C-alpha cells in the first residue's frame, strides 16, 4: 500500500496525540509506508500554520472544508470538540476520505446515527478513537477469553474513576451544565462499554443510576445548581445470561485514570487496571490448589504489538503508544486487514447503551438496550 | 466486674471460634476478669463432653435448654445453624442471660424481629457475631470519617467475593436449594451492610439484582435446577443524598475472603480489602499536588486495640483476633461501656435491607428500605 | 500423651505471647491434650500472683529457681531478657525439664554454646522462639523448594527493616550502648538467618558491613556517641555455590515489620513479605510465556496448619497464631514427632553466623562461618 | 535555536529508539524546532537506504565516517555496539559535532577515558543514553531529596533484575564469554549507578561480589564453561557517611525490567520500581502516627515533563517517552540550558565505579572508588 496522505482537523490535546501517532506509526511498526502529513486545519490560518510547523504537517488551512475537499488527502483525523464531529465526519466520508474520529461520536444519538449511516454508505473506513482496546494487555485478555482459559464469562464489573471534578469548592463550569450531556455517564461509560464490546459483546438490558455528590457549586453569581451527574452506575444483563456492572465517577479523589476491570469466568478470573495498564491479573482454577493465585503478567514482546515499541520485556508502554497502535489498526483496516478497533457502527451501538442507561435512570426500570 | 460464667451452644467452626475468644480475652486485653468456661452444649452428651474437654469448658450437656436454664451461667454463646438461633436466643434472654449469637440472625424476617423484640424486652445485652467491624482498621476508617479527614462520604462501593461455589462441576448441594435463602445476598451482603451500618448508616432506598452463573448443577439424579442466586448486587441511596453499591459473589474464582470497600468523600477516599485486613488505603486532598497519593497505613499499636495483641507494629492480626475483640466488646457492653458492635436491633435493621433488596429484585423497582 | 504441665518465667510481651499460645494450642489444634498452666514466675511474688491470675496460671512464685525445681512441671517457657536465658535454660534442662526459650539465645557466643551443650547433654527438647518459620506461607515455600518447583536455589536476598530507631531526634537509649550487642545485626539478622536455615541451610562464608546513620544522639548530658550499628548487611556464599545477601535496618522509616525474602531458583522465583505474611509470590518458568507471571498465593486450609485456625480461605492468620503453631511444634517434638522449629543446636549455628559477620566487618575480609 | 540536523549511526533497537525520539521531540515538547533527520549510516548502503526510509531520514550512507564528516550535520546519534562507541564518538567530536551516544561507553576504561577527554577538548555536548534518569518519577525523587522531604539520605539499596539469562538450559552465547565484559556488573550496574549519581552522588568506597548460578552451559561442542558473572552485588560507602548496596542479576526468573530503589532518609523513605515507573512510593515521618504510611504517587502533569506527553493524570508514560525526554534534554544542553542527563564525564565516573567493584571482587577487599 502506498503512503497515506493525512489531514488533521484540530490540534489540541487529541490533535497532538493523532499527530504523534501519524509520526510514529511507520518507524514503530516497520511494516507500513510512512504516512505523509499533508495538511492541518485549525480555527484560523495563523494558528493552523503554527501548529502545522510544530506537528510536522506540510500545509495548513483555517477552513476544515478545504482540507476535507482536498484531492491529495486520503484520510482525515477529526479531533475537534464533539459538537463538530458529525458534520466533519459526514463531509469527509462524502468526499471519499477515510475517517479517524475521536470519541464520543456526538452529543445526540441522532447525530451518531447519521455518522454511522454515512460511514455505511461511503464504503470507507471510519474508526473512533477508543485506544484502550488496542492495548496488548486488552488483546491478551481477549485471547484468554477466546481460547477458553477462564471459561465462559458469567459476570463482569468495570469501574472508571478520576478526580478532576472531585473538589466541591471548584467553581461551576460547562461540565456541570445540562448542555454538556449526562455527566460521568457519557463522559466515561463509553470506555468501559468499548472494552465490554471488544471482550464479550454489549448487554441486552440495562438499569441505570446517576448521582450528584453536591447539588450546587460556587459561581460568580452565587451558588449554582449542578445539572449533570458526576457519578453513574449501570446493572447489565447479557443475552448469554451473564450479568455485570459499570460504575463511573469523576469525583473519586485520588483516582487518576483508573479503569478497573474484573471478568469472572467458569474456570478463572481476569483483573486489569488502566492505572497500571502494562499488567494483567489472571487466576485460573487449575493445578494444585496450594499454588493457585492471581498471577501478575507483565507485558513483553510475547504480547503483540508490544515488541514493535521495544524488545525490552517489562519496559512499559505509555498512553501515546496506544494511539500509535490505533493508527496502525486504522491503516490495517484501510488495507483490508482485520484489525482491532471500534468503528462507527460499533460506536453507535455503544452510544445506544449510554442513552438506554440514562432512560432507565429516568424511568426507574430495566430497559432493553439492543437494537 | 466479676468473672462472667459462659455457656456455649454448638462447637463447630464458630463454636471453636467463640471458645478461643473466651479463652483469650482476659490475657489479651488484660483489663477484664478471666471468664469462667462453665458449660458446653452439643447435640448429644458424648459429643458435648468430648468438645468441652477440647475447648476447656467445665461441664457438658446434650440439652441446650439445660444450659440456658442453668443459674450459674451469665452469658450464652449461640453458634448453631441459623435455623436454631431464634428459639435459643429468645429462651436465653427470657432466662435472663446475656446473648452472643452468630450471624445472620435467622432465616426469616419474622424470626429476626422476634429476636430483637426479646432482646428489647429482656434488658440484657444481645450481640451478633459481626466481627469485621471490630478490626482496628475499620475503627481507623470510622474515626477518619468521624473527624472529617475525608469530608462527608458521598459515595461508596463494597464488593464481597469468595469462590467456594465457583466450580460449575461441583455437585448440587443444600446451598443451591431455595430453603437455604436467597443465596449470596443473605450469605454475604450482611457483612458489607454491617460495615455500612457502622461507618455511615444504612441506606434509605435499594434496588436489587441477583444472578445465577449456571442454571443447574450435577446431582445423582441428573442435572438439577439451581434455586438460589450466587451473585447479587444492590444500588443504594442514602437519606444524606449519598449513593452506593454492594456487589457479592460466591462464584468469583480466586477471591478467597475479599471484601473490597471504597468510601469516597468530599476531601478524600478510603479503600480497604479484607484479604489484607491489616492495611488501610487513604487519600486526602491536601498538601502539594505533586506528593499526593493513596497511602498504605499498616496497623500498629497506634490503632487500638491492636496493641493488646502485640506491641509489634506491622506484626499482623488474624481472623480469630477479631473475634477476641468482639468478645471484649460484649463484655464491655455487659459492664455498661460503650462498645463497637452489632446488637440485635442493628442486626434486624441489616436483615430488613437484605429482604428489601430481594423484593426490589422481584419487582424490578426501587424499594424504600427504612423502617 | 498426657497434658503437659507448664511453667512460665517472665510475663512481659513475650511472656503473654507464650501464655496465649499455651491457652490456645489445644482448642486450636484439637489433637493435643490441653496443657496445664501450672506456675508463673516473675521478679517478685506480688507481680507473679497478679500476672498468673491474668494469664491463667494456677500457681505463682517470685523465685524462678523454685519453678525450675518444681517436680510438677514438665516444660518451662523462658521469656526474660536475653541476659538471663543461659542460666535459666541450663538450670531447667538440668532439672529434666523441656525448654522453650525466646531468641536470641544469649548476649555472648560462649553462653549460647553452653546452652546448646546443656540441651545436648539433657536429652530434653530445647526450642527457641523463632516463630516466623512456623508460618504456613514459609512451610509452603519450603515445600516448593523441596519438590523442585523453582529448581535449585542459586541466589537469595533477605531484607529486614523496621523504624523504631529511625528518628534521629530520639534520645540515646540502652539500645545504642555497646553492651546491647552489635545493633541491628544481632537484633534482626537472626530472623533472616532462621529462614535461611529452614529453607536452604546456612552459608559457608560471609562478608559483613555495618553502619550508623548518625554518629550521636541527644542525651541529658548533651550529645552522646552511638556505640551500636543500626544498619547491617552481609554477603553470603553457600557450599552449594549459591550466593545471597542479608540486609537489616532498624532506622528504615515506614517499614514496620518488613522481612522481604527473594529466592531465585533454576526454574522460578519466590518472594515473600512478612508485612503481608498470609501471601506468597511464586513465579515458575513453565507454560506459555504469554501467561507467565508472579502469582499471589493467599493462605487457605490447603496450607497446613492454617485450617486448624479457621476453615475460611483467605481469612488471615496473625502474629500470635504463629506462636500457637510454635507451641504445637514444641509439643510435637516432646512427643517424638518431627516438627518445624529452631532448637538450641540450630540457634547456636545461627548465632555463629552473626558473630562471623561482625568479625568480617571488623577485619574487612571474608570469613568462613561454618563449624 | 534553529533546527538541529541529525545524523544517526546504527538502526537496530536503540537506533530505532533514537529515531523515534528525534521524530517526537518537537511535537511532544512544543518548545524546540523540529529536528531535521538528515542522514542515517548503517553497515552497508542498501541497509542504510532501507532503514532511512523506514525511520524518516533524508539521506543514507554505508560509511559512518561520511556521516561524521558531513558539514550539514550538527549532532550524531551513536547506537552501534559498545565496541564502536569510542572511535565514532571521538571522530564526531573532533569533527565538531554534538554527540548522543548509547551506554555503556566502551568495553575498556581506557576507551571511556579517551571519550571523556575528547568531549572535554571539543567543547561540544556529549551525552550518554541513560534515559531512566529522565523519568518524571526520578525527577520527583530528586526534588524530594533536594527539598529535604525525606531529610538526609543515610542508606540506599538498588536492585536491578531481569531474566533473559535465567534458563540454565539456554545455550552458551557471546554474553557468557569473557570478551563481553564482567557480566551483570557492566551490563546492569551502570543503571543503578546512573540513578545514584543523579540522586545522591557516587560512592567513595566499594566492595564487590560476583556469582555464576551455573558453571557451564550447553554448546554444540558439549558443555562450555561460563566466563562471565550473571549476578553481582556491591556494598557502597559514601563520603557523607551514608551506605548502600547495589544488587544485579540477569538470571532472576520473572523479573522483566525491575529496578527497585529504596532511599532511606532521616525523615522518610522513598521506594520506586522501574517495572511500574509511573509511580513513586513516599513515606514521610510527619503528621499523626495513626495515618502515616507509604503513599503511592501516580505521575501526572504535576510532574514535569509528564504534561508534554499527555494532560491526562495517571495516563502513563512508556519507555520510548523517556527517550524523547532525553532527546529534549540533549537539545537543551546544546542550547545552553541546564538539563538532566549523564554526560561523558559523568559516564566515566560511573564506569570507574564498575571497574572498582570488579577489582574489589578479585582482591576481596574494599576499594576506594573515587578519582
**Nearest CB to C247; choose among D209, D245, D366:** D245
- Is A281 within the bounds of a domain? yes
CA distance A35 to chain B (A): 38
Cα–Cα distance for residue pair B150/B144, rounded to 1 Å: 7
Query: Does D261 lie in the same domain as D238?
Result: yes
Query: Do C154 and C106 belong together in one domain?
Result: no
Residues of A in contact with D321 (CB under 8 A): 318, 320
D102 and D145 assigned to the same domain: no
Q: Are strands A294-298 and A279-284 parallel, antiparallel or unpaired?
A: antiparallel
C334 assigned to some structural domain: no
CATH of the domain at D194: 3.30.360.10
Q: What is the pLDDT of residues C303-350, one digit of tens each?
A: 999 999 999 998 999 999 999 999 999 999 999 999 999 999 999 999
- Provide the pLDDT confidence category of residue A369 given band limits of 50, 70 and 90: confident
Q: Tell if the CB–CB gap between A300 and C289 is shorter than 8 Å.
A: yes
Q: How far is C272 from chain A (nearest CA, A)?
A: 14
- Whether residue B366 is preceded by a cis peptide bond, meaning omega within 30 degrees of 0, is no
Q: Same domain, yes or no, for C41 and C146?
A: no
pLDDT of B94 above 80:
yes
At residue D370, the pLDDT reads 62
- How far, in Å, CA of A65 to CA of A72, rounded? 14
Mean pLDDT, residues B160-177 taken together = 96
- pLDDT per residue as tens digits for the range A120-156: 999 999 999 999 999 999 999 999 999 999 999 999 9
Look at A296 and C291 and tell me if their CB atoms are within 8 Å. Answer: no
Contact B150 A253 (CB under 8 A): yes
Averaged pLDDT for residues B211-230: 96
Task: Identify the closest residue of chain B to D300 by CA–CA distance.
Answer: B290
pLDDT tens sequence across B12-23: 999 999 999 999
Helix (H/G/I), strand (E/B), else coil: C356: helix
In a domain, residue D329? The reply is no
Chain A neighbors (3+ CB pairs < 8 Å): B, C, D
pLDDT greater than 90 at residue A37? yes
CA dist., res. C58 & res. C49, Å (int): 9
Chain A neighbors of D315, CB-CB under 8 A: 256-257, 318-319
**ipTM of the complex as predicted:** 0.96
User: Which chains border D (3 or more CB–CB pairs < 8 Å)?
Assistant: A, B, C
Please provide residue D157's backbone torsions phi and psi, each rounded to the nearest 5 degrees. Answer: -140, 135
- Residue C265 to residue D255, Cβ atoms within 8 A: no
- Reference D185, options D353, D371, D370; nearest CA is D353
Of C289, C295, C303, the CB nearest to A295: C295
Domain boundary among D67, D101, D128: D128
Percent of chain B, pLDDT > 70? 99
Query: Cβ separation of D296 and B294 shorter than 8 Å?
Result: yes
**How many whole angstroms separate alpha carbon C312 and alpha carbon B292?**
36
Helix extents (H) in chain C? 13-29, 45-55, 64-69, 82-94, 109-122, 136-146, 184-188, 190-199, 306-309, 319-334, 344-363
Asked if residue A47 has a cis previous peptide bond (ω within 30° of 0), the answer is no
Whether D100 and D155 map to the same domain: the answer is no
The number of domains in chain B is: 2
| Per-residue confidence (pLDDT) for residue D54, from 0 to 100 | 87
D100 with D185, same domain: the answer is no
Computed on alpha carbons and rounded to an integer, the radius of gyration of chain B in Å comes to 21
pLDDT for the residue D107: 87
Cα–Cα distance, C233 to C248 (Å, whole number): 6
Of the CA atoms within 13 Å of residue C308, those in its CB half-sphere come to: 18
Say whether C320 and B318 touch across the interface (CB within 8 A): yes
Instruction: Out of A209, A252, A366, name the one closest to residue B269 (CB).
Output: A252
Q: What are phi and psi of C20, to 5 degrees?
A: -60, -40
Which of A235, A241, A249 faces B155 most closely, judged by CB atoms? A249
Looking at residue C148, what is its pLDDT? 98
Interface test with A, best of B185, B246, B253, B257 (most A CBs within 10 A): B253
DSSP notation for A240-282: TS-EEEEEEES--TT-SSEEEEEEEESSEEEEEEGGGTTEEEE
Residue A219: φ, ψ to 5°:
-145, 165
Q: Is the pLDDT of residue A371 over 50?
A: no
The mean per-residue pLDDT over the stretch A184-191 comes to 94
Measured in whole angstroms, the distance separating CA B268 from the mean position of its chain's CA atoms is 27
Pairwise CB contact (< 8 Å): D318 & A314: no
3-state helix, strand, coil in chain D (%, to 5): 40, 25, 35
Q: Grid cell 516473675 — which residue?
A: C42
pLDDT for position B371: 47
Tell me whether residue B338 is in a domain. Answer: no
Q: Which of D2, D36, D77, D320 to mutate to test the interface with A (most CBs of A within 10 A)?
A: D320
Mean pLDDT of B24-29: 94
Confidence of residue D371 (pLDDT cuts 50, 70, 90): very low
| Polymer length of chain B | 371
DSSP of D87-125, one letter per residue?
HHHHHHHHTT-EEEEPSS--SSHHHHHHHHHHHHHHTS-
Distances (CA, A) of A301 to A128, A136, C118: 26, 9, 60
The rounded distance, in Å, linking the Cα atoms of A134 and A323 is 8
Average pLDDT over residues A283-310: 97
Residue B370 has pLDDT above 80, yes or no: no
DSSP B259-296: EEEEEEESSEEEEEEGGGTTEEEEEE--S-GGG--EEE
Same domain (yes/no): D119, D178: no
Vertex B326 angle, CA B321 and B331, to 5°: 125
At residue B103's C-alpha, the angle toward residues B102 and B108, to 5°, is 125
Cβ-Cβ contacts under 8 Å, B278 against chain C: 316
**Maximum Cα–Cα distance for chain D, whole Å?**
67
CA distance to A137, A152, D90, per residue, from D351 (Å): 37, 55, 18
Instruction: Give the closest-approach CA distance of B117 to chain D in angstroms.
Output: 40
CA nearest to B360 within chain A = A365
Q: Are residues C109 and C242 in the same domain?
A: no
Provide the pairing of β-strand D153-161 with D243-249.
parallel
pLDDT tier at C180 (50, 70, 90 boundaries)?
Answer: confident
Instruction: State whether residue C198 is helix, strand or coil.
Output: helix
Query: Residue D2: what pLDDT?
Result: 83
Q: Per the domain annotation, does D325 fall within a domain?
A: no
Classify residue B205 as exposed, middle or buried by CB count within 10 Å of its CB (0-12, 13-18, 19+). Answer: middle
| Cα radius of gyration (chain A) | 21
Query: What is the share, in percent, of chain C residues with pLDDT greater than 90?
Result: 96
Say yes or no to pLDDT of A295 above 60: yes
Q: Is B322 part of a structural domain of the chain?
A: no
Tell whether the model's pLDDT for residue B214 goes beyond 70.
yes
Q: Average pLDDT for residues A74-96, to the nearest whole number?
A: 97
Of B144, B291, B297, the CB nearest to D292: B297
Chain B CB contacts of A216 below 8 Å: none
In a shared domain, residues D121 and D168: no
- Does residue D96 form part of some domain? yes
Q: Which of A79, A103, A128 is the last residue of a domain?
A: A128
Chain A nearest C-alpha distance from C299 (Å): 8
Of the candidates A178, A174, A237, A250, the one whose C-alpha atom is nearest the C-alpha of residue A208 is A237
For residues A144 and A62, membership in a common domain is answered with no
User: What Cα–Cα distance (Å) separates residue D343 from each residue in B368, C99, D116?
Assistant: 69, 63, 9
Q: Which of C290, C268, C272 is CA-nearest to residue C280?
A: C272
Other CB atoms closer than 10 Å to residue A52's CB: what's the count?
A: 23
D303 and B292 within 8 Å at the Cβ level: the answer is no
d(CA B268, CA B246): 20
Spell out which residues of chain A touch residue C143, defining contact as CB-CB under 8 Å: 290
- Which of A233, A249, A266 is nearest residue B168 as measured by Cβ atoms? A266
Contact assignment for B20 to C27 by CB distance below 8 Å = yes
What pLDDT is attached to residue D1? 66
CA distance D159 to D196: 12
Which residue in chain C is spatially nearest to D245 when comparing CA positions? C233
Of C280, C296, C302, the CB nearest to A294: C296
* D148 shares a domain with D108: no
Looking at the fold, whether C33 and C145 belong to one and the same domain comes out as: no
Q: Give the C-alpha separation, D109 to D87, whole Å.
A: 14
For residues C20 and C320, is the Cβ–Cβ distance under 8 A? yes
Neighbouring C-beta atoms of residue D205, cutoff 10 Å: 17
Closest Cβ opposite residue A292 in set C144, C289, C297: C297
Q: Is residue A169 part of a domain?
A: yes
C-alpha cell at A284: 485460573
Contacts of D243 in chain C (CB under 8 A): 209, 211, 231, 233
Contact D317 A312 (CB under 8 A): no
Q: What is the pLDDT of residue C371?
A: 47
Domain finish residue from B110, B128, B146: B128
Mean residue pLDDT across chain C: 96
Which among B361, B309, B349 is positioned nearest to B113, based on CA atoms?
B349
pLDDT mean over B165-181: 94
Burial A245-283 (b: 16+ CB within 10 A, else e): bbbbbbbbbbbbbbbbbbbbbbbbbbbbbbbbbbbbbbb
CATH number at residue D90: 3.40.50.720
Residue D294 has its nearest CB partner, among B144, B296, B302, at: B296
Which residue has 532518609 as its cell numbers?
A: D265
Q: How is A5-47 classified by DSSP, letter by letter?
A: EEEEE--SHHHHHHHHHHHHHHHHHSSSPPPEEEEEE-SSHHH
Chain B nearest CA to C170, separation (Å): 18
Domain interval for residue D189: 132-313+343-363
Q: Which residue of D has its CA nearest to C155?
A: D213
- State mean pLDDT over D177-197: 94
Amino acid at each position: 500500500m502506498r503512503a497515506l496522505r493525512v489531514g488533521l482537523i484540530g490540534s489540541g490535546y487529541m490533535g497532538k496525540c493523532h499527530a504523534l501517532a501519524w509520526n510514529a506509526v511507520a518507524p514503530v511498526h516497520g511494516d507500513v509506508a510512512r504516512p505523509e502529513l499533508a495538511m492541518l486545519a485549525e480555527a484560523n490560518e495563523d494558528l493552523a500554520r503554527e501548529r502545522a510547523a510544530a506537528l510536522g504537517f506540510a500545509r495548513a488551512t483555517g477552513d476544515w472544508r478545504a482540507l476535507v475537499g482536498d484531492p491529495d488527502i486520503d484520510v482525515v483525523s477529526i479531533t475537534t470538540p464533539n459538537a463538530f464531529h458529525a458534520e466533519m465526519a459526514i463531509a469527509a466520508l462524502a468526499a471519499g476520505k477515510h475517517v479517524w474520529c475521536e470519541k464520543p461520536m456526538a452529543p445526540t444519538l441522532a447525530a451518531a446515527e447519521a455518522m454511522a449511516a454515512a460511514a455505511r454508505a461511503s464504503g470507507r473506513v471510519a474508526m473512533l478513537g477508543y485506544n484502550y482496546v488496542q492495548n496488548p494487555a486488552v488483546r491478551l485478555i481477549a485471547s484468554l477469553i477466546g481460547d477458553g482459559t477462564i471459561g465462559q464469562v458469567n459476570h463482569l464489573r468495570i469501574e472508571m474513576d478520576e478526580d478532576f471534578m472531585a473538589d466541591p469548592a471548584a467553581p461551576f463550569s460547562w461540565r456541570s451544565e445540562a448542555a454538556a450531556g449526562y455527566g460521568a455517564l457519557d463522559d466515561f461509560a463509553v470506555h468501559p462499554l468499548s472494552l465490554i464490546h471488544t471482550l464479550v459483546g454489549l448487554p441486552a438490558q440495562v438499569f441505570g443510576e446517576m448521582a450528584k455528590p453536591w447539588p450546587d457549586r460556587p459561581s460568580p453569581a452565587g451558588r449554582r445548581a449542578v445539572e449533570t451527574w458526576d457519578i453513574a452506575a449501570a446493572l447489565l444483563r447479557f443475552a448469554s445470561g451473564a450479568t455485570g456492572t459499570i460504575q463511573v465517577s469523576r469525583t473519586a479523589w485520588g483516582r487518576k485514570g483508573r479503569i478497573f476491570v474484573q471478568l469472572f469466568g467458569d474456570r478463572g478470573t481476569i483483573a486489569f487496571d488502566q492505572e497500571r495498564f502494562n499488567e494483567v491479573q489472571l487466576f485460573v482454577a487449575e493445578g494444585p490448589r496450594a499454588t493457585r493465585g492471581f498471577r501478575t503478567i507483565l507485558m513483553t514482546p510475547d504480547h503483540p504489538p508490544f515488541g514493535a515499541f521495544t524488545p525490552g520485556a517489562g519496559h512499559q508502554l505509555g498512553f501515546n503508544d496506544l494511539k500509535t497502535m490505533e493508527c496502525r489498526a486504522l491503516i490495517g483496516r484501510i488495507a483490508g486487514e482485520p484489525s482491532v478497533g471500534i468503528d462507527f457502527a460499533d460506536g453507535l451501538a455503544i452510544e445506544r447503551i449510554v442513552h438506554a442507561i440514562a432512560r432507565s435512570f429516568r424511568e426507574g426500570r430495566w430497559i432493553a438496550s439492543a437494537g
